[in-house]
Every structure is written in structure tokens, then in C-alpha cells.
Amino acid sequence: MTELVARTGRNRQRYEDGYRLVAGCIPYRHAKTDDEVLMITSRSGPGLIFPKGGWENDESVEEAAQREALEEAGVRGEMKKILGSWEFKSKSPREEDSPEGLCKAVVFPLCVTQELDSWPEQDVRQRQWLSIEDALKQCRHDWMREALEQCREFLKQCREALNCCSQLSDQEQS
């Protein structure tokens, strides 16, 4: 088995008009009664977030979002249509006084098809499945709450169409 390792450093980061370009996703699954999303602990403070990180110059934005989901949350899945893009100022102390503190994030819904027992950032992050309502209360960033509202609408349309994605069986979700 190949060992998974998180990418580090910022030498391959994409920038545009003074913004660091970021890719992220909202991992989700269809539970018996409702949809659930996977949140992770932040490395920079209290609260829960969704997987996200720098979009590097050797990958597409979709590949970057999938890589971040794997590195930070230990999940793989089917990427869906873009939810939108959001601008924010990074709260990371090392970026606060630099132009890199401005970020533009592109966020996708990710239907989780595999949840790994071992992943690159498991020693520094915990993951937690939550209802969308609970996730809205736990989310530490306004822009992520907005993305989650967009995801909720996407999932509602998905359920109505009965066409969201192949998914973990009930036994694999437990």
C-alpha cells in the first residue's frame, strides 16, 4: 500500500490579482432520515471547518478540492458541480499582514464514497459527521456557512431527482 502524505509549502500555489486561490469541498452522505456533512477541526483555532487549501499550479481546481478532502478529512468521493466562490481574509497569523492573506475559495459538494481509516492529517484533525442544521451552528466562518446553504439547496434538488451519487452502504457508514 502506498503511504499518503500531505503536500506542504506554498511554492506551487496559484495567485490571481493578489488573492491566494483555494479549493475546498463539503463532503456529504445521505443518512437514513436526512443528509449529513463531514466537518473537521481547524489547525488554527477552535471550531469546525470543511476541507480546503491552496490550489496548486500542477492540478485542476477539482483535483485540488479532492486532494484537500483526502489529506485533511480522509475521504474520497464523487465531485459534483461547483457551489460557488467566496472571498475571505485568512485568519492564519503567518498571512495576516501579507497580500496572501486575501483568499478566493472555490467550493464543491463531494459525495463521499470512501472513508479511510488512515489519512495524512489524522494526527492533527478530527472529523465529525453532522446534520446540516448542526453544521451551520458549528461552522466557524460566515463564508463557509454560505457555501453550506448552497450545498443544502443542491442536496435538496439531488434528493428530488433521486440522482445524487453512488455512495457508501449503510454498513460502511457506521
Q: Which pLDDT value is given to residue 36? A: 96
- The helix (H) or strand (E) run that includes residue 22 is strand 19-30
Sign of CA dihedral 39, 66, 13, 11: positive
User: Which residues pair with residue 130 across a beta bridge?
Assistant: 37
Using alpha carbons, select from 136, 172, 139 the residue that is nearest to residue 152.
136
Please tell me the predicted confidence (pLDDT) of residue 67: 98
DSSP state of 55: P
Residue type, 101: G
Looking at residue 9, what is its pLDDT?
A: 54
pTM: 0.85
- Per DSSP (E only), the strands in 64-139 are 75-79, 84-89, 102-115, 127-131
Per-residue pLDDT of the chain (174 residues; tens, 9 = 90+): 445 555 555 567 888 888 889 999 999 998 877 899 999 999 877 889 999 999 999 999 999 999 999 999 999 999 989 999 999 988 764 444 345 588 999 999 999 999 999 999 999 999 999 999 999 999 989 999 999 999 999 998 887 776 666 654 443 443
Write down the CATH number for the domain with range 15-173: 3.90.79.10
**Confidence (pLDDT) at 63:** 97
Domain boundaries, the chain: 15-173
How many helices (H) and strands (E) the chain has is answered by: 4, 9
CA dihedral (95, 44, 79, 4) in degrees, to 10, reads 100
Here the cell at position 68 is 484537500
Cell of 29: 452522505
The confidence score (pLDDT) of residue 162 equals 67
